[in-house]
Structure 1
């Protein structure tokens, strides 16, 4: 018995002295849906690396990607339950606060400089408070990206080419409505389910930023890639308002500052990957075409009209964002 006790004490001492391990360390879980190599994956890992360098020994950010902790809607619920510290929703935010449907409007955001102005002059003053009313807090706005269409039927040049196409969309009502206007047959589906749906023919196609398309390996089960840039989707570093306030003030300060600092890394990485991935897609055997963007813009009017009718102040939000785009 004495030998066993001695061995236990020795082992415990060794554990306590092992670099990087702490019996009292609190893990701050960051869940997201991105696969390895995705923009989400690289963004969250960069955030974790920078934050952990500044947090000391008591707290550690740990990333959980590839929908390990659930889909976007599930992880938003886990935030409120205190089962998760951070998540990185994109389209699903329009299901939390109606006004976030703004970022489901086609051809609204011109480029990342435009988006930075929108964050400063629209999202932070007008939308952050609405999110807090729902029990959440946004620490920073990152990126999902400019979205493109892939499918197994034909190249998509105009909205007419989408007629009857079974198209997976994220869980957001405005994306569904937009593609209905374009003539497709859209169906919301969690990202983790999409590869199998495409592989089996349950879905003919899907739409996502290039980085998501490539990291999800959709090029292995899709023949056509059409460059439409139909929507730019931000991504939001979200925490539970109540559970966030339980963290020490100095920890909150480090995490919030780091989340905002990482935005430049996100934008630079996204722009670089956009340039590189088209060649990778082509090498994988996909047929790539540039869509007629004006044809899509011309078909988008009804979506804007619905947004103005159904979301209070929706038309004014759209006008403010468009005006910020004219400053380029």
Structure 2
């Protein structure tokens, strides 16, 4: 019995002696002790360890309400929970409530989290995922679907599993654009000296260094304040992340560069995944893959809607000279080929898939 339970019993005994003079000194406290033990037994009977209560499967991500991450994770949870029955429930924790991407990846390995939705940070886990840091590599979402089937699943998924991470499905972060408070970005030269926040991915930093910017990796949850205070001049993200993070409130210029397309990965721990019953794993894995179509449809719609919202918020929008950026991107491809084993071959395969109709 806990100290609190014994103290409660003693307090009850004192009160009992004042109120019930006809009872013995031991009768009332003994009843309290029995009640405390009964309550403790009831609590134990409801613990997930005994399989009698619903087990929470936590899904953590960094997206704010209204973001694509938020919509995607909630759609997954709703569909999965309809099929899981009463024993398990997927519960979504967005807005970096459970930490940033790197922190949540560690929590997966420790068994403190069931799912997370990393994007750029995967290139810090497995070098080959830096493929999706390469500028102007992915043409559109149909191209990306072919890349998932013919490159990601057969070649990159196993590399992630070697590091302790199992990828259930590939969703989306999106096509990235640049915002800042200094000037419109039309060509790489306009980035010269700009203090630009990037995600924690080695190749994104190196790409913007090649373009002439002064990039700094930073957790998404810290970016609004950095932009507001001038610690950073600008940042780059898909439109839906820009809007849901309210960067339009602290940024003057939005330049449509489409410089990188970033997938997002539904990730679990390779080891702890096996602790779930097989039928539960089947439901979760199938649902994660099924939600991909919803993710792409939602992302395409948001891209169309949010550009007008940005302009309405007072941002100056310009279309960048994408060919100028493509022409300046050769050195980053060369570095990827030199430093990542098989990097050049991966790039060639992805580009070839972009030529298919």
Q: Please give the TM-score of this superposition, normalised by the length of structure 1.
A: 0.94
Aligned to 2:179: 150
Deviations 1:55-110 (A, max 9, x none): 00000000000000000000000000000000000000000000000000000000
Aligned to 2:298: 269
- After superposition, residues 1-328 of structure 1 pair within 5 angstroms as 24-328=53-357
The two structures, once aligned, show a CA RMSD in angstroms of 2.0
User: What secondary structure does 2:89 align onto?
Assistant: strand
User: How far is the alpha carbon of 1:24 from its aligned partner?
Assistant: 1.0
Question: For the residues of structure 2 that align with 1:228 and 1:136, how far apart are their CA atoms?
Answer: 32
User: How far is the alpha carbon of 1:4 from its aligned partner?
Assistant: 12
Deviations 1:243-262 (A, max 9, x none): 00110000000000000000
Q: When the two structures are aligned, how many residues end up with a matched partner?
A: 321
Deviations 1:200-228 (A, max 9, x none): 00000000000000000000000000000
Query: CA 1:4/1:289 → structure 2, altered by over 3 Å: closer, same or farther?
Result: farther
- The unaligned stretches of length 5 or more in structure 2 are 1-29, 46-50
Question: For the residues of structure 1 that align with 2:86 and 2:248, how far apart are their CA atoms?
Answer: 42
- The unaligned stretches of length 5 or more in structure 1 are 17-21
Query: CA 1:3/1:135 → structure 2, altered by over 3 Å: closer, same or farther?
Result: closer
User: How far is the alpha carbon of 1:3 from its aligned partner?
Assistant: 11
Question: For the residues of structure 1 that align with 2:197 and 2:261, how far apart are their CA atoms?
Answer: 17
Deviations 1:102-125 (A, max 9, x none): 000000000000000000000000
Q: Please give the TM-score of this superposition, normalised by the length of structure 2.
A: 0.87
Question: For the residues of structure 2 that align with 1:234 and 1:3, how far apart are their CA atoms?
Answer: 58
Question: For the residues of structure 2 that align with 1:9 and 1:49, how far apart are their CA atoms?
Answer: 36
Question: For the residues of structure 2 that align with 1:324 and 1:169, how far apart are their CA atoms?
Answer: 28
Question: For the residues of structure 2 that align with 1:156 and 1:9, how far apart are their CA atoms?
Answer: 69
